[in-house]
Structure 1
Amino acid sequence: MLRLAFLTTALVCTLVSGFAPVAPSTASSALRLAVGETAPDFALTDQNGKVVKRSGIRKPLVVYFYPADSTPGCTKQATAFNDKVKELRAKYGADLVGISGQDTASKQKFASELGLTFSILADEGDKVRKEFNVPRAAFGLLPGRVTYVLDKKGVCQKVYNELANAESHVDEAIEVLADLKQSQGPLAGFLG
């Protein structure tokens, strides 16, 4: 019994540190929001006190849920997204928000420490996380890390569920945004 508890603890610690390989999932029946469905609307406050409403964003949107501010994996993920946010906006005409359950004071500190140039939203009480039905990770011990790529109408184009490789979420989002841009063609802005 003691050995099983030790192995479980070691596995959880390894997953949290970001070193254990976990097979990514692009869609799962455990997730409420599936590809082809419209994302739930939300209005949450970001690190600057601005209320961000999903339905008010009329362009492709990357929405990523992460476990907690200022943790190693979440710091890597936020930094990786921050490094690519200008490209997301300029090349793909998209925007980006990160969401976790801490309050706005935590978001302010996290954004300031990393110099984040995109909104990270305070989902106190995890209401929006529950509306998206983001699964828990590491045997239910941690909030999950899931990225959704939405088109300009809020329809989900990709669900990427990967706890351990936090930085991989950026590449997955860019791949989908590139496909969206290519499928819309040069006249998409005039026709849609």
Structure 2
Amino acid sequence: MKTPLEKIDWSELPEPEDNGAADHLTGTMLPQMQLSSTSGVMIDLSHLSGITVVYAYPRTGQPDQPLPDGWDMIPGARGCTPQSCAFRDHFAELKALGVDHLFGLSTQDTAYQSEAAARLHLPFPLLSDAKLALTKALNLPTFQAAGMTLLHRLTLIVRDGVIIKSFYPVFPPDQNATDVINWLKSGASTDR
């Protein structure tokens, strides 16, 4: 049974602004490094062939745990569950459009991510960058909350280890999968 999407009025939350923090990513080759995944195997994104979609999110909450103080007032922080559920719900369509690999990415550890992956019935793995190795190597945009370094929400489209498109900022998060689908349908992923 799928977990229903959380009802959020996006107009009541501060919208993130494009501060240029992801402008450098398109054309960048992914570094060789192993990331822990909720599938139980280590993943090196640089070695994957074909089209890979990686959506980065700050952190998923847990139903029995409060969100960090002021979470809703951090532009773009709220919405990790709706974003993940949208990618889950569009998984088959993304595969049909040529996506070979799909991952969520956060700085939470794999044990924490595993709870969310199971609760949300995600058909794809979540990757942990708890040591911030990929974040630092790619200079991904981050912010601090409750003593944690968290990723700003962004999505990378990768072809054979090279980033060919970045979506940043992502808002509202529940539309991110649709934005990726529309970009794939435009044929831009096949441009050389």
Q: TM-score range by the shorter chain?
A: 0.7 to 0.9
| Paired amino acid for 2:97 | K
Partner Cα distance (1:167, 1:161) in 2: 14
Cα distance in structure 2, aligned partners of 1:176 and 1:35: 15
**Structure 1 residues 1-192: aligned runs within 5 Å:** 18=10, 19-20=12-13, 22=15, 25=18, 28=20, 30-31=21-22, 33-70=24-61, 73-137=79-143, 141=145, 143-151=151-159, 153-162=160-169, 164-180=171-187, 183=190
SS in 2 for 1:62: strand
Q: Tell me, what secondary structure is at the counterpart of 2:108?
A: coil
* Counterpart secondary structure, 2:97: helix
Structure 1: stretches of 5+ with no match in the other structure: 1-15, 185-191
| Structure 2 counterpart of 1:116, one-letter code | L
For this pair of structures, how many residues does the alignment match? 165
Deviations 1:93-151 (A, max 9, x none): 432111111111111100010000101011112221222212125xx545311111112
- Which range is displaced more, 58-67 or 85-94? 85-94
Q: Which moved more, 1:68-77 or 1:116-125?
A: 68-77
Structure 2 SS opposite 1:125: coil
Q: Which protein has the larger Cα radius of gyration, Structure 1 or Structure 2? A: 1
What are structure 2's unaligned runs of at least 5 residues? 1-7, 63-77
Question: Following the alignment from structure 2 to structure 1, what is the Cα–Cα distance between the partners of residues 33 and 154?
Answer: 17
Q: Which structure 1 residue ranges, 4+ long, deviate > 6 Å from structure 2?
A: none
Instruction: Say what the alpha-carbon RMSD is for the aligned residues.
Output: 2.8
Relative to its length, the structure with more helix (as a share) is 1
SS of 1:82 mapped into structure 2:
helix
Give the Cα separation in 1 of the matches to 2:169 and 2:175: 8
